[in-house]
Amino acid sequence: MITITGATGQLGVATIDFLIQKGLDPSKITALARSEEKALALRQKGVNIKLGNYNEYSSLVEAFKGTDKLLFISSNEMENRDQQQVSVVKAAQEAGVKHILYTSIQRQSDKTDSPIAFVTLSHIATEKAIKESGMAYTILRNNLYMDGLPWVLGEKVFESGVFYPAQDGRIAYTLRSDMAEATANILLGDNHENKEYNISNPYSLSFIEIAEHLSVIADKHVNYFSPTVELYKSILTGSGVPEFVADFLAGFAQGIAAGEFVAADTDLPRLLGREAVGYKEFLNSLYATK
């Protein structure tokens, strides 16, 4: 039995869809969901549903019983993530899970003064708990979703240009569906125990290159401006963006500037059995026909 936490989220749903497309009987998949309503679409596909959440330890233990492989999709909560995720690991251990796969984050540094420490430290703690649990493990070092790039660029990027304090830093943005397919291949495959994989696009690009390609699409110059972090956050909050969202976006920009998301050595093409979707293809699909 394959059990998937965070199963109603976009990565979870996409991974389940790939498992089924690749021939796995849906009855051999269990999805952990917070409510029946959220899991209705998965139930209609024939997937088993177990109710529970990261804050209810007993529900996790019950949901994980009989699991051979557990795909542990990291929590999207920031405040209690350390405690939540260690609880998931302990519950998996208590339930007798044989192999746990964890969606961690791509990074170059584990230092506490890293600009992305606000998100990496909980991943580091979870990886440590997994490795000390005695379960077989696979750590997936996922890069940032390419799917989130339009959110960073904004709705008026062709008029106002690319405005993001990433300087000339490079990042290996990766399509969520590519991550999901690679994850499904690992779940269905063998010889992935006690390994760590870099799930990143092979090509790392800068926002300078993004602006250059948007210029090609628009057939006019699209400027890239890298403001100070303070100015960037001030403009965002001044336009109504919540301060915690501005801090989040700025933190990742600083991480990009520091080279945290460069991924010269990646396992993704091998795990996919094909090339990953590149940024030009992605941007063309979004903007070239508009």
Q: What is the pLDDT of residue 78?
A: 64
Cβ distance 257 to 166 under 8 Å? Answer: yes
Q: Write the Ramachandran bin of 239: left for phi over 0, alpha for psi from -120 to 50, otherwise beta.
A: alpha
Q: What is the pLDDT of residue 290?
A: 53
Amino acid of residue 38: K
Q: What is the pLDDT of residue 222?
A: 96
Domain 2-142 and domain 143-174+201-263+277-290 have a common topology: no
Domain boundaries, the chain: 2-142, 143-174+201-263+277-290
Please say whether the structural domain 2-142 has been given the CATH code 3.40.50.720. yes
Q: What is the pLDDT of residue 172?
A: 96
For 143-174+201-263+277-290, CATH number? Answer: 3.90.25.10
Cβ distance 140 to 248 under 8 Å? Answer: no
Burial class (CB in 10 A: 0-12, 13-18, 19+), 240: exposed
Flag residues of the chain having pLDDT under 50. Answer: none
Q: Which of 188, 232, 207, 227 is nearest to 144 (CA)?
A: 207
Q: What is the pLDDT of residue 111?
A: 87
Q: What is the pLDDT of residue 289?
A: 66
pTM surpassing 0.85? yes
